Amino acid sequence: MITLKEALTLSSAEIKAFREELKSKIEEKKELNAYIGMEESGEGIPVLIKDNIQVKDWSVTGGSKILQGYISPYDASVITNLKAKGLSPFGRANMDEFAMGSTTESSYYGKTLNPVNTDCVPGGSSGGSAAAVAGGIAIAALGSDTGGSIRQPAAFCGIVGMKPTYGRVSRYGLGAYASSLDQIGPLTQNVEDAAILYDMISGYDPKDSTSVDMDYTPVSENLKPERKLRIAVLPHFLNDASEAIQKAYTSTIETLKAQGHEIVEAKLLDAKYDISAYYVTATAEASTNLARYDGIRYGTREQGDNLKETFIKSRSVGFGEEVKRRILLGNFVLSSGYYDAYYVKAQKVRRLIKQNFEKVFESADLILSPVAPNTAPKIGELENPMTMYLSDMYTISINLAGLPALSLPVGKSDDGMPVGLQLIAPAFDEQTLFDGALGLENALK
């Protein structure tokens, strides 16, 4: 598959031919179920879009039955930006329903398979985006990351996935899961493509009140892979990781040392606090955000005898099991009797997590961390919700702290599954993140 950088040099006739070729490849690899739908807009370089990002006149479902029949009346700001750069939204990527999940098994439109081994999940929730890029049926894709949903599927499929600093990329037109955690970001074949796509979607947007109004210097034009950095490693964090992950971590540290980086040891808060704070915060916000799906305003309606019954019926039929579980959990932690004990406490823990990262960054430019405790699990293996939540232990603190992070492939397990590790940077220092990641990618070639 051509890279995004290469695609940007093609003539419009070449792009046209490429799009036709791509369509037949997608057809050949239908069994992956990476695409929910084949909508197209424009004639430019095709980029796959996760199905929770608004593209005007497209059916957009968020992987849910409740949005069946909904046609988007507008473009998300990231889509407006892509179109302005000659890129065209091309296809809707499968995902866990409303981005809740770590395997893409909760999509109403069926599971996506991992192209490296079709017995395994591609990760989630941006599993369709990752599987398509890794499977050679998309040049690049957009995903969303609330607690790891770009980085973890990228790691499971052996590609690059990047979550920007909170506030860097507009959320206008992103179907909200947990608004204080969500960010849109790129899934690509390599680090440079990630930088290019990231540049295209980044920058201040007055339509998003949490978008940060600061000067934006494009990172892809200033990449310096030769920079020597101080990189913090987290030895205490590895106990819960599988042997394959531990081995890859150790050998990556050696690679970084050989490149001339300085390695420093650091410690973050125990991951059990991350998981609790995240699942309280994310479900609380989700329960409020999903209140808008009532059968009246969008998509699927199940008519009842009165308005209340219509709400109840539409939501009962329209939402899947995992989404319902989170709505219940979110309402519980926000209810007046439990608000202080759960929601308020989670916000305090969140602050501690953020402060802890800031402390580490006093003596380091980047942090090297696992992305997941294991390589891609088999389909059905993470059926127990608690097991699935625990598998997010390495990614969610980054969203709680609002930091940028990039996951890149560093090796393979004995059974041939990709291993990804992530680099984490201080807020708004995406330049250092991409410099470090490109340096590591080059060293591993």
Q: Give the catalytic positions in this structure.
A: 50, 125, 149
- For ligand GLN, which stretch binds (CB under 6 A), given 97-105, 209-217, 220-228, 416-424? 97-105
Examine residue 282 and tell whether it contacts ligand GLN (CB under 6 A): yes
One residue of 64, 114, 125, 422 binding ligand GLN per CB under 6 A: 125
Beta strands (DSSP E) in 247-350 are 262-265
Host H or E run for residue 38:
strand 35-40
CB of 224 to ligand GLN, least distance (A): 30
Residue 112 binding ligand GLN, by CB under 6 A:
no
Q: Is 177 among the residues that bind ligand GLN (CB under 6 A)?
A: yes
Residues 96, 103 contacting (CB under 8 angstroms) = yes
The label of the residue with tokens 């960054």 reads 361
51 binds ligand GLN (CB under 6 A): no
Closest contact distance (angstroms) between CB of 15 and ligand GLN is 31
Under the binding rule (CB under 6 A), the answer on residue 134 touching ligand GLN is no
Query: Which part of the chain contacts ligand GLN (CB under 6 A), choosing from 30-38, 39-47, 145-153, 154-162?
Result: 145-153
Q: Which of 193, 392, 430, 435 binds ligand GLN (CB under 6 A)?
A: 392
Euclidean distance between CA atoms 195 and 220, whole angstroms: 5
Does residue 107 belong to the site contacting ligand GLN (CB under 6 A)? no
Radius of gyration over every alpha carbon of the chain, rounded to an integer in angstroms = 21
> Applying CB under 6 A, which of residues 39, 75, 97, 145 lies at the interface with ligand GLN?
145
Q: In this structure, which amino acid lies at residue 373? A: P
By C-beta, is 72 or 144 nearer to ligand GLN?
144
Q: Which of 217, 191, 203 is nearest to 4 (CA)?
A: 191
Q: Is 319 in the site for ligand GLN (CB under 6 A)?
A: no
Q: Which of 306, 204, 396 is nearest to 388 (CA)?
A: 396
Handedness of CA 247, 369, 404, 384 (dihedral sign): positive
Rounded to a whole number of angstroms, the minimum distance from the CB of residue 185 to ligand GLN is 10
In whole angstroms, the minimum distance from the beta carbon of 386 to ligand GLN comes to 12
Q: For residues 409 and 138, what is the distance between their CA atoms, to the nearest angstrom? A: 18
Q: State which residue, 114 or 125, has the beta carbon closest to ligand GLN.
A: 125
Q: How far apart are CA 283 and CA 90, in angstroms?
A: 31
Stretch that binds ligand GLN, among 140-148, 240-248, 310-318, 341-349 (CB under 6 A): 140-148
Asked if 78 and 199 touch (Cβ cutoff 8 Å), the reply is no
99: contact with ligand GLN by CB under 6 A: yes
> Concatenated DSSP letters for 178-238?
STTT-EEEEEESSHHHHHHHHHHHBS--TTSTTS-------STTS--TT---EEEE-GGG-
User: Binding to ligand GLN by residue 121, rule CB under 6 A?
Assistant: no
End-to-end CA distance of the chain: 18
Q: How far apart are CA 326 and CA 324, in angstroms?
A: 5
Which residue has the closest beta carbon to ligand GLN? 149
Q: Which stretch binds ligand GLN (CB under 6 A): 33-41, 100-108, 229-237, 337-345?
A: 100-108
Residue 271 in the binding site for ligand GLN (CB under 6 A): no
The amino acid at 258:
A
The minimum distance between CB 17 and ligand GLN, in angstroms, equals 35
For 80-96, give the DSSP string. HHHHHTTEEEEEEE--S
What's the gap between Cα 340 and its chain centre?
30
Going by their DSSP bridges, the two strands 87-93 and 35-40 should be labelled as antiparallel
285 touching ligand GLN, by CB under 6 A: no
The reply on whether position 100 binds ligand GLN by CB under 6 A is yes
Residue 241 binds ligand GLN, judged by CB under 6 A: no
Of 22 and 396, nearer to ligand GLN (C-beta) is 396
For position 35 contacting ligand GLN by CB under 6 A, the verdict is: no
Contacting positions for ligand GLN (CB under 6 A): 99-102, 125, 145-149, 177, 282, 392
